Chain A
Amino acid sequence: MTAILRVESRKLVRGTVILTGLLVVLSAFFFVVFPSIQEEAELFEAVYPDYLLALLGIEELHTIEGFIGGYIFPFVWILLAGIYFAYVSAGMISRDIRTRRMDLTLSNPVSRESVVLQKVAALWVPVVALNVGMMAVLFAGATVLGEPIDLASLAMVHLLGVPYLLVCAGIGLLLSVVVDRVETAQTTALILVFALWLIDGLSQMNSDFEWVGEITPSRYYDPSAILVHEEYAPIDATILLVTFLVLVAVSVLVFVRRDI
């Protein structure tokens, strides 16, 4: 039974192409400014207050690894791609119910569990496209700037970034089965992912509140640590994966019981 997976995958192609294109262009712009940032990196790190550096996860800004991990990834991957995954997933179920498409889908001999799982599985499209596109532009950019980058670390920062995106998708999916209005589900998902990102950064400024950041998914994905220190934190990635699976399981449980 892959009919739904096929159609859902195809539906994600257009958005994925636009997203990947945008993020690749954005990353390329970052590279354009890298040389000037590199020159003033020390000044940067001296002048900027610590909390801002912490908020952005900036370390070793004068190296290409520090720049990618501290500048490009927090914006491009954690914030923008995270929002995209949450936003798209938040429309998956709610929109089909709203447009009565779900009536026809469920008139087939297919279980509600299978419908949700096939829809989630269709996220392979943006996951693959985003990884390939970003790896290519980052590797090309580093090479052009004459700053060779370790391919293994580059691959790991992408691979370990996938569970983070899946958690964002899980948040969207749960909203998608709980909230009736498509717009409400998608806006809430978008705001929530942004807020979680902000909370993670802000909580690091004050040690009294640092524990608050423990509930944010971005706390469990640190691109700088991976690129600069080659610390891969497999446990953190596992925590994210388990969270994603729990979110999907709860979504399925809600969806099989509700009226559509």
Chain B
Amino acid sequence: MCAQTDVVETNSDRDAATIRLDELAKHYGEVTANDAVSFDVHAGEIFGYLGPNGAGKTTTIRLLLGLINPTSGTADVLGADIHDRRALTEVKADIGYLPDSLGFEERLTGQQVLDYFARMRGDERRAELLELFRPPLEKPVETYSHGNKRMLGIVQAFMHDPTLAILDEPTSGLDPLKQDRLHAFLENERDAGKTIFFSSHVLSEVQRVCDRVGIIREGELVALENIDDLLERGGKDVRVHLAEPVDEERFTTPAMIDVETVDRTVRFTYTGEANALLAHLARFDVEDVDIGDPQLDDIFKHYYGGSTLGETG
């Protein structure tokens, strides 16, 4: 259903597409990093690119930036074909990029790093961003923690006020407070008309901030969803420690997948409503319970199976 909506949107908003991938593929010998991936990112949306680690998210991003060459297929970024190196170089003035692994010039201070990028693409929003994200600018980058490097990366990605930001796992290494701050910042940017392309392996994060989501598994786009549809496909990793051994059949409900019972402990991935789960558990004599974020791959296997849904599914 959602996929059909997308096709209609794509046709009517053809000009509004900020990024368009057309059967984009990258092979490394036998290994397929990206397999004919096609989707559009529309102007003014936060697009989540969701997939487990190693699914091929970074490969797509590096293809879009012209860092690696596609094996086949193509893509447009802000109207520039990724095969047209000159055009792509020009539009980079309007792109902000936060890589997954940040390679800064280690001996420079944060200040010097920002000055360096400012000379190439401007920094009209630097002061404003440094109010929100505060890396220790006077210290050399080699002394930075992961979180500080990430904050410096966020500042450099947005300080020239780009119309498109491409962020590869932007919250990794950030403490929860800073993560919330980044999410709020991204929503403001979106409301101001900016486009955000956001890769993540954390389902809950994508559910919180993104408008639309592309899901990638083993190099293939398995689904393109509106966020409302994805919200129904959540899941929690649950571990229940019961007072006495329980009959698995009596305990299990259809919303539980991958159920494992060892003596008095039951472990499962829960894909239903939180209230229903709590009500269900209350019927048993529970000693302890752990509810956390699930392994993304388990959830994907459940919802998307092994098949490729792509844009037609």
Contact = CB atoms under 8 A, between A and B. Distances in A.
B187 to A, nearest CB: 23
Contact of A259 (B67, B108, B121): B67
A254 to B, nearest CB: 13
B160 to A, nearest CB: 9
A107 B105 contact: no
Contact of B92 (A2, A108, A257): A108
In which size bucket is the chain B interface? 20 to 34
B93 interface: yes
A3 B62 CA distance: 23
Contacts of B116: 3, 6-7
A2 B116 CA distance: 10
Interface residues of A, number: 24
A99 B67 CA distance: 14
B27 to A, nearest CB: 12
B89 A109 contact: yes
Contact of A96 (B85, B103, B119, B121): B103
A147 interface: no
B221 to A, nearest CB: 21
A101 B153 CA distance: 12
A76 B67 CA distance: 40
Given A11-B107, A256-B85, A104 B97 contact: yes
Contact of B67 (A11, A111, A257, A260): A260
B68 A259 contact: yes
Nearest to B108: A7
A112 B125 CA distance: 27
Interface string A223-260: 00000000000000000000000000000000011011
B69 interface: yes
Contact of B95 (A3, A11, A107): A107
A106 B67 contact: yes
Contacts of B66: 106
A100 B92 contact: no
A104 B152 CA distance: 12
Contacts of A109: 89-93, 120-121
Given A3-B116, A108-B121, A103 B62 contact: yes
Interface in B58-75: 62, 65-69
A241 B108 CA distance: 33
A257 B83 CA distance: 11
A110 B99 contact: no
B102 interface: yes
Contacts of A260: 67-68
A111 B89 contact: yes
B253 interface: no
Nearest to A96: B103
A47 interface: no
A108 B117 contact: yes
A1 interface: yes
A47 B264 CA distance: 94
A102 interface: yes
Interface in A194-226: none
B112 to A, nearest CB: 8
24 contacts: A1-B120, A3-B120, A6-B119, A7-B105, A7-B108, A7-B116, A11-B105, A100-B102, A101-B105, A103-B99, A103-B103, A104-B97, A104-B104, A106-B65, A106-B66, A107-B92, A107-B97, A108-B92, A108-B120, A110-B89, A110-B120, A259-B69, A260-B67, A260-B68
Given A1-B120, A104-B156, 5 more contacts: A7-B105, A103-B65, A103-B99, A104-B102, A106-B67
Interface of A: 1-3, 6-7, 11, 96, 99-104, 106-112, 256-257, 259-260
Q: Which 10 A-B pairs have the closest CB atoms?
A: A101-B103, A100-B103, A3-B119, A107-B97, A259-B68, A108-B120, A109-B93, A109-B92, A99-B103, A103-B99
